[in-house]
Amino acid sequence: MKNIYILLLSGLLFLIACSKDLNIKPKNFVADEDLMSNEAGMEIYMARMYSNMPFEDFKYMAQWGLNFNSWLGATGIDGTGEALDRDGICTAFTNEDNPYWGSAFVLLRDANHLLEALPQFKGSFAEPTYNDYLGQAYYVRATVFYAMARRFGGIPLVTKVIQYPADQDALEVPRSSEEDTWNQILADFDQAASLLSPKSPKQGYSNKYVALAFKSEAMLYAGSVAKYNETVTGRLTGLGQKTGTRVMGFAADTWQSASKKYFREAYKAAREVMLNGGYSLYKKKWVANDRDAQYQNMVDMFSDLTSPENIYVREYLYPTLTHGYDAYSSPFIFRAPLSSGTCPTLDFLELFDGFDRYADGTVKVTTGTSNSTGEYLLYDKPMDFFKNAEPRLRANVIFPGDVFKGKEIEIRGGVFTGSTPIKPLFSDYSYANANQLYQQLDAYTKQPKALYLSSNSGSSQELVPYNGSNMTAAGANGPFYSSGESCITGLYARKWLNPDPSFVAGEGKSAQPFILMRYAEVLLNAAEAGLELSLAGETTPDESDMLQVATNVVNSIRERAGATQLISVIESSQAGRNIVRKERRKELAFENKIKWDLRRWRVQHYDQREGFWGEAKNKDLYSNSSEYRFRGLYPFFSTQTGKYFFDAHFQWVSMKTFQYNPIDYYFAIPGGEVSKSTVIDQQPNR
């Protein structure tokens, strides 16, 4: 019995000792006082938050979502018409393989925890520093809510840390209405702007004007959704089945007031950045009436970290933090390990000044009234076709025959050996005939053969004797019929590529920055919000003339771009609004902006597709249903004349057909989240 008592006493003492040890913080545990009582700790906390932000830069692919992977890096290939890509990632922006849901709430918890815990350590910091940290948290939360809202509409507004474990009711937060969601985003951006410093205290942090710039973008989105949901047949809105909350769209009695409010907030935020932010358009190498200087100025703008236009930039540093954009989107001759991931379309090119046109606005390639009549126009060299092109376009796009990294970019659709004058290769260039290929033409299939193309099997090219040597049918960069890995539209994207001839592309070797927000976008936000307010009969939120502001904005951007200036004030009309939309289409191409603009304007489904290009355009030129396609511009060499001609034809290598319906303006909530929850509503009609 004595031995039993001794054992019991020993056990009790052991348990007491263990309980005391349990109160000792493990060496691998980092507590709030370690991070939030000093600036070094806070820098670690901030680095964690900002490394997980939903930024859409080189490591974002629309089809895959926010998985921070630069594999197959490309931009503008998400059904916007900017560019095409050979791979399955080139598809309309109707969902993301990796929905931005679960990871969003992890980042929200970090932001909310900072807001709740930092006040305990307020005395450790100077007041401006303390306020800035709180402002960073509000900015992060606003950014996460914004990223979710434009994907899903109404979302669970988690504005406090949810403690675990807890009752089921405390753990689950239902989706709020879409209107309440946008109101929360507005409040958080406002709170961030009121607390943040005018200048970022550290590289990569936000500041007051960063918050205001993104606020202007977010409120422009909110105002557009509130207004243009009403243009979708049946009104694009609905209630959740579980909660009865209007998780998608706005109520019939609130959409007008909500849209006006959001446009007003967008205008005010943009104007504050314009007046007090200290930013300006990049014009370091710009020279009036010098098209080459204007082109080079815009090329340099996207790699110059000292640019006065940069508001918020995602920086990279070789070899520790890199991406692979050049490895996948460079011209074919720089293949490393792939190429040609971003091939701009003819439809995109037609947005720009500097080309002769047919009556329907399409680029003129023949002497006739359409590209199926008359005879082909002939050029000594491909670049002659682009001699009057807007310098901004040349900064965005590598033309056939232009020079990149010290090498001429040779592109041919094929070689034509037939007689002159040369008639159009097809009799019908309409959307209904979009599937007809050059390989099906009599000039290619019958004898005597008059058309030579890249081989339709294997990797070889057809050769054509010319001036004592053999000319390859498709040139050094294609398009190659047997492989989509070539210039599938006749054009390459130049924007974002590293232009240094000494740079050798490869996976994880690129380090050029990605500009997430620049001053030109803020100017366009102000212009569009002002036009929308004017259309709604609203007076200016400040003392400015909103239409004059819009006109000045467009002209300042066009001047820098080398484009034609407006000669009169933009009118308060749909045509006036479209001037601004089209300018936005041109200026912000390949920046992961346009896919969101098309969604908020509600112009991607067939009924409203006339506005797809930011201008009134016959939608039947490139679609006749929920499906649509884009065109390429292909240079052919004529051996009989020794000159080039261009054919405007639907893209014919790795053919891409896109599809979009009204339901796609809102992504589905992840099915697993809906099925396991009693309060998370799926989108109506899904």
Q: Is residue 674, in this structure, part of any structural domain at all? A: no
pLDDT band at residue 457, thresholds of 50, 70 and 90?
low
Instruction: Give pLDDT, residue 3.
Output: 43
Please write the tens of the pLDDT for every residue from 402-432: 999 999 999 999 999 999 999 999 999 999 9
Instruction: Give pLDDT, residue 441.
Output: 95
pLDDT band at residue 269, thresholds of 50, 70 and 90?
very high
If you search the block for the tokens 């050996």, which residue do you land on? 417
pLDDT band at residue 456, thresholds of 50, 70 and 90?
low
Instruction: Give pLDDT, residue 18.
Output: 44
Please write the tens of the pLDDT for every residue from 472-512: 999 999 898 766 788 999 999 999 999 999 999 999 999 99
106: containing domain: 32-65+98-274
Percent of all residues in the chain with a pLDDT value above 90, rounded to a whole number:
89
**Distance of alpha carbon 46 from its chain centroid, rounded?**
25
Instruction: Give pLDDT, residue 15.
Output: 41
* Mean pLDDT, residues 366-394 taken together: 98
Which segments of 572-681 does DSSP mark as H helices, in order?
Answer: 574-587, 594-601, 671-675
Please write the tens of the pLDDT for every residue from 337-352: 999 999 999 999 999 9
Q: In the predicted model, is pLDDT for residue 13 greater than 90? A: no
Domain CATH for 181: 1.25.40.390
Percent of all residues in the chain with a pLDDT value above 70, rounded to a whole number:
94
Q: Is residue 140, in this structure, part of any structural domain at all? A: yes
Q: Is residue 5, in this structure, part of any structural domain at all? A: no
* Whole-number Å distance between alpha carbons of 113 and 48: 13
Q: Is residue 570, in this structure, part of any structural domain at all? A: no
Q: In the predicted model, is pLDDT for residue 30 greater than 80? A: no
Q: Is residue 543, in this structure, part of any structural domain at all? A: no
Burial label for 363, CB within 10 Å (0-12, 13-18, 19+), is buried
Instruction: Give pLDDT, residue 287.
Output: 98
Report long-range pairs for 299-308 (Cβ below 8 Å, ≥24 apart).
299/395, 299/494, 299/499, 302/495, 302/496, 302/512, 302/513, 302/515, 303/498, 303/512, 303/513, 305/513, 307/282, 307/518, 308/278, 308/279, 308/280, 308/281, 308/282, 308/519
Please write the tens of the pLDDT for every residue from 531-588: 999 999 999 999 999 999 999 999 999 999 999 999 999 999 999 999 999 999 999 9
For the chain, the maximum distance between any two Cα atoms, rounded to a whole number of angstroms, is 118
Q: Packing angle between helix 519-535 and helix 574-587, nearest 10 degrees?
A: 170
Q: Is residue 182, in this structure, part of any structural domain at all? A: yes
Beta strand pairing call for 403-404 and 407-408 = antiparallel
pLDDT band at residue 25, thresholds of 50, 70 and 90?
low
pTM (two decimals): 0.94
Instruction: Give pLDDT, residue 17.
Output: 44
Instruction: Give pLDDT, residue 617.
Output: 86
Instruction: Give pLDDT, residue 102.
Output: 95
- Rounded to the nearest 10 degrees, how much is the dihedral formed by the CA atoms of 29, 35, 40, 46? 110
Q: Is residue 593, in this structure, part of any structural domain at all? A: no
Instruction: Give pLDDT, residue 481.
Output: 72
First-to-last alpha carbon distance for the chain, in angstroms, is 72
Assess contact for 677 and 172: CB atoms under 8 A: yes
Q: In the predicted model, is pLDDT for residue 2 greater than 50? A: no
pLDDT band at residue 685, thresholds of 50, 70 and 90?
confident
Total residue length of the chain: 686
Instruction: Give pLDDT, residue 7.
Output: 40
Q: In the predicted model, is pLDDT for residue 459 greater than 80? A: no
Q: Is residue 164, in this structure, part of any structural domain at all? A: yes
Instruction: Give pLDDT, residue 168.
Output: 65
Assess contact for 66 and 54: CB atoms under 8 A: yes
How many structural domains compose the chain? 1
* Mean pLDDT, residues 287-312 taken together: 97
CB neighbour list of residue 177: distance below 8 Å, 6 or more residues apart: 154, 245, 246, 247
Instruction: Give pLDDT, residue 166.
Output: 64
Please write the tens of the pLDDT for every residue from 107-164: 999 999 999 999 999 999 999 999 999 999 999 999 999 999 999 999 999 999 988 7
